[in-house]
Amino acid sequence: MDRLILPGTAPSVNHMYQNTGGKRRMKVLKPAAQAWFDEAILHANLWRTKNKWPTANEKVIVRLWYYFPDAKRRDTHNTLKALLDALEDGLIYEDDQLALPRIMDYEIDRKNPRIEIEFEMAG
């Protein structure tokens, strides 16, 4: 089965939200985070269709390889919120509670930053 490849880097929890004004303060996705999220959902849906992956209702091992655009210090774990939520909205699994993320490695690829993902039913 092919790897799902998401272009760019997932936003970190520290950089994905902004507060709205008004009496009822809310956190909403920043435009760049929303754009990444929407693109990740699209790629997940295309991958799922191509690979005939059924939306999982059991635990799924999610193996992750990160390719960053530069040597800036990053915490791969800080991207899991956006990434796992996008995969849920892309129907890889019914609920991101089912995802068992495994960060396999990270490297720098200045020309092609991305996240490569493999899935395996854990049951």
Task: Report the residue count for the chain.
Answer: 123
Per-residue pLDDT of the chain (123 residues; tens, 9 = 90+): 799 999 999 988 777 778 777 677 777 888 888 999 999 999 999 999 999 999 999 999 999 999 999 999 888 898 999 999 999 999 999 999 999 999 999 999 999 999 999 999 997
In the prediction, which pLDDT does 86 show? 97
> Structural domains in the chain?
4-121 (3.30.1330.70)
The 3-state secondary structure of 40-96 reads HHHHHHHHHHHCCCCCECCCEEEEEEEEECCCCCCCHHHHHHHHHHHHHHCCCECCH
In the prediction, which pLDDT does 74 show? 86
In the prediction, which pLDDT does 6 show? 98
**85 to each of 80, 88, 103, 113, how far by Cα in Å?**
8, 5, 16, 20
